[in-house]
């Protein structure tokens, strides 16, 4: 064809691409400015602060790995790492098991189904700090309603020291975290369960599958992609938890419930050691990545679910 016809569309196309990019950029600008100013930049600044001895009201100087070397020899830091891992692991497993169970119950033909769904989600909606205050009162050393009830039944003789004893405190904060996390897992998994066609269950039961087999071989594999995502988020929330611990124990007794996030806050803000606090926060990142990768890829859809070999 002549150069006239081939040139004109090309220039128009180029023109459109340019304006498209210009427009895309313009539309992205507000979000981008915000996220760069208050997310990307702080993330970088946090890493930098971890290498300095910054304190509140004083810019730090670069001290290399000094903060990390100090933390390496700090038993409190290692306690917090241990606590965070245990807390995340136990709470996530419990949340998953109980949440899946609740989701399967809610997936039955229930009267007032939407009412129950709304009710069950309440712990997730209410501000964590405020519900944690209720738990603080429930876990009171003297007037705990749980202790009182158990004493009435006759299972225990005296009130349980929920938050004053290291082991009890760990169990208590995990219980409170699980309480708050179950609704999220349950409602998300319920949404996933509702996408599984009932005909598959019926077919399996005609083939003689027991209800356990139907659950393990039909429901679970079909649910696993959404389980992967839900649990990734759940692990992320649990690992970086701060509010619950801050309200219930502030890390005590004797640092038994300090998580990395609460330790980072304690050293960084009230303690004034911004550099050290930032270093603890940065130390969370590899654990966080590992946890996310594990729960994401560990639970990803497998080949055998699509008929191939694993």
- Touching other proteins, residues 275-304 (CB under 8 A): 277-278, 281-282, 284-285, 288, 292
Collapsing DSSP states into helix, strand and coil, what is residue 307? coil
Site for other proteins in 58-87 (CB under 8 A): none
Stretch that binds other proteins, among 5-13, 70-78, 165-173, 233-241 (CB under 8 A): 233-241
**Cα(125)–Cα(49) distance, integer angstroms:** 34
CA 209 and chain centroid, separation: 35
CA distance readout (Å), 233 to 25, 236, 246: 30, 5, 21
Q: Decide: is 220 part of the binding site for other proteins (CB under 8 A).
A: no
Sequence-ordered alpha helix ranges (H) in the chain? 3-35, 41-50, 66-72, 75-106, 113-120, 122-125, 128-138, 145-153, 166-193, 198-206, 211-214, 220-239, 243-248, 260-268, 274-298
Collapsing DSSP states into helix, strand and coil, what is residue 52? strand
Q: Decide: is 230 part of the binding site for other proteins (CB under 8 A).
A: yes
- CA dihedral sign, ordered 150, 153, 155, 156: positive
Contact by Cβ (8 Å): 220, 202: no
Six-digit token string for 25: 């950029």
Site for other proteins in 102-141 (CB under 8 A): 102, 105-106, 108-110, 114, 116-131, 133-135, 137-138
Q: Decide: is 251 part of the binding site for other proteins (CB under 8 A).
A: no
Stretch that binds other proteins, among 7-15, 165-173, 176-184, 216-224 (CB under 8 A): 176-184
Site for other proteins in 33-52 (CB under 8 A): 34-35, 37-39, 41-43, 45-46, 49
Residue 97 CB, nearest approach to other proteins (Å): 12
Figure out which of the listed residues 202, 297, 301, 302 binds other proteins, where binding follows CB under 8 A.
202
The residues, any chain, with a CB within 8 Å of residue 223's CB and separated by 6 or more, are 189, 192, 193, 196
Stretch that binds other proteins, among 2-10, 23-31, 72-80, 301-309 (CB under 8 A): 23-31
Figure out which of the listed residues 209, 229, 271, 272 binds other proteins, where binding follows CB under 8 A.
229
Residue 168 CB, nearest approach to other proteins (Å): 18
Figure out which of the listed residues 23, 93, 220, 290 binds other proteins, where binding follows CB under 8 A.
23
Q: Decide: is 187 part of the binding site for other proteins (CB under 8 A).
A: yes
DSSP letter for 305, please.
Answer: G
Q: Decide: is 91 part of the binding site for other proteins (CB under 8 A).
A: no
Q: Decide: is 235 part of the binding site for other proteins (CB under 8 A).
A: no
Q: Decide: is 163 part of the binding site for other proteins (CB under 8 A).
A: no
């Amino acid at each position: 064809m002549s150069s006239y016809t081939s040139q004109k569309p090309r220039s128009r196309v180029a023109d459109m691409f340019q304006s498209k990019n210009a427009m895309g950029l313009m539309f992205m600008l507000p979000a981008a400015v915000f996220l760069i100013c208050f997310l990307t930049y702080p993330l970088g600044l946090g890493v930098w602060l971890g290498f300095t001895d910054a304190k509140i009201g004083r810019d730090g100087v670069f001290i290399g790995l000094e903060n990390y070397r100090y933390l390496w020899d700090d038993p409190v830091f290692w306690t917090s790492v241990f606590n965070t891992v245990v807390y995340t692991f136990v709470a996530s497993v419990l949340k998953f098991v109980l949440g899946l169970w609740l989701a399967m119950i809610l997936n039955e033909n229930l009267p007032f189904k939407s009412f129950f769904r709304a009710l069950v989600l309440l712990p997730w909606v209410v501000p964590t700090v405020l519900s944690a205050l209720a738990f603080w009162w429930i876990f009171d050393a003297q007037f705990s309603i749980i202790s009182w009830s158990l004493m009435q039944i006759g299972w225990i003789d005296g009130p349980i020291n929920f938050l004053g004893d290291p082991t009890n405190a760990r169990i208590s904060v995990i219980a409170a975290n699980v309480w708050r996390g179950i609704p999220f897992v349950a409602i998300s998994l319920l949404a996933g369960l509702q996408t599984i066609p009932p005909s598959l269950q019926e077919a399996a039961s005609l083939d003689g599958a027991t209800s356990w087999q139907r659950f393990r071989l039909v429901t679970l594999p079909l649910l696993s992609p959404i389980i992967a995502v839900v649990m990734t988020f759940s692990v992320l929330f649990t690992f970086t938890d701060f509010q619950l611990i801050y309200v219930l124990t502030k890390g005590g007794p004797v640092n038994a419930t300090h998580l990395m996030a609460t330790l980072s806050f304690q050293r960084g803000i009230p303690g004034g050691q911004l550099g050290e606090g930032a270093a603890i926060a940065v130390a969370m990142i590899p654990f966080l990545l590992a946890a996310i990768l594990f729960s994401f890829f560990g639970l990803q859809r497998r080949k055998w679910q699509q008929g191939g070999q694993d």
